[in-house]
Structure 1
Amino acid sequence: MLETFLNDPLYLQVDIALLGMLLGAAVSALLAFQRAGSFAGGIRRFWGAEELLFGGWAPRPRLAAGPGLFVIAAALLQFGVFFGNSLIREVWPGTIAAMALVIDHLYGAALVCKLLLASRYSGKQLAVAWPVFFVLRWVFMNNHNKWFMLGVLFLLAAKDVPLRRPLKVCLAVGAASLAVVMTGAALGWIPTLLLEGGRPRNSFGYGWPNLLGAFLLGAAVMYVCWRRAERLKWYDFVLLGAVTVFCDRGPDSRGGTVCLALLLAGMLAARFLPRIFGPALVRGLLAACPFLAFGASYWMHWAYTPDNVLLETLNGLFTGRLYLGHEALLKLTPRIAGQADLQGAIIDNLYLGWWFSGGPVASLLVWAGFAFLLWKLLKNGRITESVCCLAFLAHGFMEPHLMWPCVNVTVWLLAGVVYLVPDGRFPSFAPVPSKKESEAP
């Protein structure tokens, strides 16, 4: 067991977090009953008041440490993925492997400490978040999807963290890592992958061109979340356009290019036509997009046949993905809690792929979570975050990076969903108003 933990700490870290939250909730409940002096009073106190787990000892340093722990975890994962997950690992294989293992232990420990020692919870919040955590941990033990589980840990740990600071740190680390890796590949210091046939594709130092496309989309999302739609200038749109063109002409990542174009179009609409996001009908349709995307994905793959001109055209646009998904539907049966063995099936559509690897229950939880997130964001006027979330939901038609917390930072915002955060405290990447601004009439 010790050897397994040393080589892959995530499984034990997840279990420590899950069981620790349950034990901490029990301690908090006992303390609430003790302080209230009556059973009914204890129930009300535990259910409604947010308290630190395992008692209120050292509250100030614990709460002060929480945001810092989240920043450390996010920065470490960002560096490990954007830099360490490049082909630099072929240049320094032993060094990068050792570095990756150390990083895995450090950010996992930081997340567990944030969850158990530096976050306040009410009984009502734990009554929703803990069962969701339990179900998704159960699925993780079946499908071993590390990236999805990391997304869950990060969204749980993001509770009450001012997210703008970790956003800026991750943008800086991610952009610097991209620059170093791509420059190193251009100069021949880092290997790169060159694919011929049709248009040439260059991975610029990463293991696959589509991975670079996902990283470019992730960096663009972090950039606009930092800049904010209402503050974008002409040079911001020029930069987004340049990244989109590069993604098309360099790695030729179709999913990344299309979603960068969607992000650019969405930012133009948010900047110059923000009122179109206001009507309840529009908000409802956009909030329904996760379920609409799942339904469209399932239907396209199920109904695919080469004789159908429309579906065959879509199959070409999706580079053969409908054919592969159709074959998977004929071969696989969904299991309630997911599965790792897809019997050789290749599914490059996240919605259909998660239906099999995650199972129906987890699929419902995930798409309901994103739907509720979009509704709350739009209701609170957070158009920037909404457009970024929609761009990554569209990316799921061709790529699996929706729940990667180092690529799609809108995953962090799901903390507001699982903890039932009210509108006034719902997380976003917007700057916190100064005291003078908040007091202005």
Structure 2
Amino acid sequence: MFGFANFLLLALFAAAAVDLIGAWRRCGRPVPALRVLWREEHLLFGGWAAARRLQWGPRLFCLGLALYEFTVVFCNSMAREQWPWVQARLAPVLDVVMYLAFFGKILLGTRYSWRSLGLAGALYFIARWVYFNGQNIWFLGLAVVLLAAKDVPLRRSMRAFLASGLPALALVEVLHFAGLIAPGATSERDGSFRLLFGYGHPNTFGGVVLGLVLAWVLLRLGRLRWLELAAIAAVGVFLLAGPASRSAALCALLLAALLALAKRFGKGRPAGRPAAALPAALVPLAGAVSLILPLFVIKVGPWANDIGPAWLLRLDELLTCRISLAWAAYRVLDIKIAGQMLPDWPVLDNIFVYLLYQFGPVLLVIAATLLTAALYQYARHGRWQEAACLVVMLLYGYMETQVLHVTSDPALLLLSGAVFALPFSRWNEADTSCR
């Protein structure tokens, strides 16, 4: 992965040099050339075969996204325990093809202005920087996906996502219930049994299912029916009663409720600035709750969750020790500007605390700013279903770091317009022509 990360960064610098030389020749002077590159979108490495490159760009992205989904859904199931070659041979090959597809889309199949590429490239540079320190491949992969997602119709992306994820999950379940993988159907935790459904942990299965539900919602934006909303709520009940994946279940139920409100009262009505600021304010509010609540913990016993006062203990139990684990992190971990490798304990499932320690405060602020800006813009323009998906993404992040995985949270693609600082009219403009 080090090689891939460095290759993309060097290729972007090389593309900038080639573009500058070409613009300088056309304009005759460097200042007008820089002005043109800054304002006008263009293909990297020159405009040769422009029509064909723009045609193949979205195809490469959809190929990469489908491989990403299959790699996580199947190769990270218990099939890797039953057949070691799945993780040792198949997954690395799929990863190489996936990253080559994404790199092809980024370098050869997308138009950028230097303004938008500079902003998105800065995010990638920071992601690469903290990857070297924290060794977390998921955020680096997310940065690559967001770079590659520019100008790809969202519905087209979700078709590729579902076309890969649904058969992969079905395959895992067939193998599981046939007894070929994960022969133990349950796992014991705190005296209760939780169904695994072919994965190493119930929350992994819950994240996969929640991701497919979100992908379906994003595919059906503006066309969701009441029966579909009822089905989403039913999935939430199933996740709570079956694998007892509380985080995914609560998010599915919240998603159904928010989509119902959007369908009943939203109907594309734009919000004024104060009203749009309300959903956007949920991001700093969730961050403040995540980072400040652990400061009120009073230790009353030897175990990690032996805490007080009583109201905070009850809240901590509801959130499965998210608060007490953050309190432990405050006492045993240092905050580093560019992130670090985390020990096995304490386990940080809250995304705000996790980003602070794994990636550093700079990336935490950037991530929170992007989500806040996206929520504000979607609410401001009356795109309440997209806003609902982002609010659910925020709740999921409060409980699970899997929110960084596109498999569990394809709503991350809604951030692509904010990453490139595009005008809102460009965020999902191609969806209207998607067949």
- TM-score between both structures, scaled by the size of structure 2: 0.93
CA distance in 1, matches of 2:337, 2:191: 41
**Cα distance, 1:96 vs. partner?**
4.7
**Cα distance, 1:354 vs. partner?**
1.0
Change beyond 3 A, Cα 1:240–1:198: farther
CA distance in 2, matches of 1:246, 1:262: 14
Secondary structure of the structure 2 residue equivalent to 1:407: coil
Matched, 1:216 2:209: yes
Q: Which of these residues, 43, 47, 62, is aligned with residue 56 of structure 1? A: 47
Change beyond 3 A, Cα 1:59–1:433: closer
Alignment of 1:240-255 (within 5 A): 240-255=232-247
Contact 1:385 1:429 in 2 (8 A): no
CA distance in 2, matches of 1:209, 1:194: 9
CA distance in 1, matches of 2:118, 2:81: 46
Alignment of 1:175-324 (within 5 A): 175-191=166-182, 192=184, 194-196=186-188, 197-228=190-221, 230-274=222-266, 278-305=271-298, 306-324=307-325
Q: Which of these residues, 136, 144, 163, is aligned with residue 154 of structure 2? A: 163
Change beyond 3 A, Cα 1:63–1:278: same
CA distance in 2, matches of 1:429, 1:397: 32
Residue number in structure 2 paired with 1:148: 139
**Cα distance, 1:121 vs. partner?**
1.3
Contact 2:230 2:256 in 1 (8 A): no
Residue number in structure 2 paired with 1:371: 372
Secondary structure of the structure 1 residue equivalent to 2:308: coil
CA distance in 1, matches of 2:430, 2:197: 30
Deviates more, 1:312-321 or 1:278-287: 278-287
Amino acid at match of 2:290: S
CA distance in 2, matches of 1:29, 1:77: 34
1:247-289 CA-partner distances (Å, limit 9, x unpaired): 0011101111111111111111111111687343232121122
Matched residue count? 424
Residue number in structure 2 paired with 1:400: 401
Identity of paired residues, percent?
34
Matched, 1:39 2:40: no
CA distance in 1, matches of 2:144, 2:26: 31
1:75-130 CA-partner distances (Å, limit 9, x unpaired): 01111111121111223222453110110100011111111111111121122222
Amino acid at match of 2:412: V
Residue number in structure 2 paired with 1:415: 416
Contact 2:79 2:86 in 1 (8 A): no
Residue number in structure 2 paired with 1:104: 95
**Cα distance, 1:245 vs. partner?**
1.2
1:391-420 CA-partner distances (Å, limit 9, x unpaired): 111011111122212321122232211212
Contact 2:153 2:434 in 1 (8 A): no
CA distance in 2, matches of 1:428, 1:264: 26
Q: Which of these residues, 103, 111, 122, is aligned with residue 131 of structure 1? A: 122
Residue number in structure 1 paired with 2:11: 20
**Cα distance, 1:237 vs. partner?**
2.1
**Cα distance, 1:379 vs. partner?**
2.5
CA distance in 2, matches of 1:181, 1:400: 23
Deviates more, 1:343-352 or 1:189-198: 189-198
Secondary structure of the structure 2 residue equivalent to 1:75: helix
1:21-72 CA-partner distances (Å, limit 9, x unpaired): 1110121122112101233321221111111111122212211111011000
Residue number in structure 1 paired with 2:111: 120
Contact 2:75 2:86 in 1 (8 A): no
CA distance in 2, matches of 1:64, 1:195: 48
Question: What is the Cα-based RMSD across aligned positions, in Å?
Answer: 1.9
CA distance in 2, matches of 1:252, 1:326: 25
Contact 1:415 1:427 in 2 (8 A): no
Amino acid at match of 1:326: W
Contact 1:225 1:430 in 2 (8 A): no
Contact 1:288 1:371 in 2 (8 A): yes
**Cα distance, 1:73 vs. partner?**
0.2
Residue number in structure 1 paired with 2:302: none
Secondary structure of the structure 2 residue equivalent to 1:200: strand
**Cα distance, 1:357 vs. partner?**
0.5
Residue number in structure 2 paired with 1:7: none
**Cα distance, 1:193 vs. partner?**
5.1
**Cα distance, 1:342 vs. partner?**
3.8
**Cα distance, 1:186 vs. partner?**
2.5
Contact 1:370 1:414 in 2 (8 A): yes
Amino acid at match of 1:217: L
Amino acid at match of 2:214: V
Deviates more, 1:277-286 or 1:319-328: 277-286
**Cα distance, 1:148 vs. partner?**
1.0
Contact 1:193 1:206 in 2 (8 A): no
Deviates more, 1:81-90 or 1:123-132: 123-132
Secondary structure of the structure 2 residue equivalent to 1:164: helix
Amino acid at match of 1:410: A
Deviates more, 1:413-422 or 1:389-398: 413-422
Q: Show structure 2 runs of 5+ residues with no match.
A: 299-306
Secondary structure of the structure 2 residue equivalent to 1:201: strand
Change beyond 3 A, Cα 1:385–1:127: same
